Structure 1
Amino acid sequence: MAKESLKVVASNRSARHDYFIDDTFEAGLVLMGTEVKALRMGRATIGDGYVYIEHGEAWLDNIYIPEYTQGTWTNHSPRRKRKLLLHHHEIEQLLHGTREKGHTIVPLRLYFVDGRAKIEIALARGKKLYDKRQTLRERQDARDAERAMNARR
């Protein structure tokens, strides 16, 4: 069995701060050639992106893949919507999840697995301000405990 090579292009670090992650999915992307070349250069922004389901298909919108610098008239639009490749049962699961109040689908990271562009998306529930404070407090307490243990050694 071949070893998987994983190259992360972009990650949405604020998503784990702003949302409770309920379930994650890995989806393929339908991309143009110049988009793939721009991604291989390691440039993309997925922080503002979101996923929606329309006519039984999943679409990724508002992520930024800059134009390929050496592209010609065949270059792509940087903020176009892109189709996600998911199984039918995964789309149904996402659709039922988003019908609940406060749930949405957010992209977590964009990466290459064995030369193919993939995106990790999550069914997420929005956090309130006090939840964000609690998360920060727990993270700080864990850091303090780790420092104390390291100082004791």
Structure 2
Amino acid sequence: MAKKHKTTSSYLATNNKARYNYAIGETFDAGMELTGTEIKSVRAGQITIADGFVQVRNGEAWLDNVNIAPFAQGNQFNHEPLRSRRLLLHKREIQAIEKATANAGVTAVPLKVYIKHGFAKILIGIGTGKRQYDKRETIKKRDQERDLRRKFKR
């Protein structure tokens, strides 16, 4: 009988600020190249992706400004918390990200971090910056939906 891998639907980190500041279009799932103490910290949920972004340099995608806290039992073998981490994507996906982010006002932002089949994965979204009035409209829609749910709940 084949061994079944555990899959979890819960996310280790989410970037709620990204959906507020950007209109997210296309998304990509990518693996992350992590060291031993980094993956232990990620599994413990010690990762912050709120200020992160993705850059394409020399044909490779890099995740910058993402904080993975040092592992508590890591002693001298611990990692640098804010180092750039290489993303594992197909060449055509990297080219699509590079092409999309070449336009002004468009950026690639991390949306969610999760574990899939034992590997750390990250969901990357191509986001176009929202204007202030778009952000107000988003807040207004969210409040209206919340009020409707309250009414139907009763």
The TM-score range, normalised by the shorter chain, is over 0.9
Equivalence for 1:55: 58
> What pairs with 1:3-152 in structure 2 (closer than 5 Å)?
5-6=7-8, 7-151=10-154
Q: Distance in 1 between matches of 2:6 and 2:75?
A: 33
Stretch moving more, 1-10 or 75-84: 1-10
Aligned residue type for 1:132: K
Q: Percent identity?
A: 44
Q: Distance in 1 between matches of 2:138 and 2:11?
A: 25
Q: 1:54 to 1:114 in 2, by over 3 A?
A: same
Could you list the per-position Cα deviations for residues 45-67 of structure 1 after superposition, in whole angstroms to 9, with x for gaps in the alignment? 01011110001000001100011
Gaps of 5+ in 1: none
CA drift of 1:100 comes to 1.8
Aligned residue type for 1:141: Q
TM-score (norm 2): 0.92
**Number of paired residues?**
151
Q: Distance in 1 between matches of 2:5 and 2:40?
A: 23
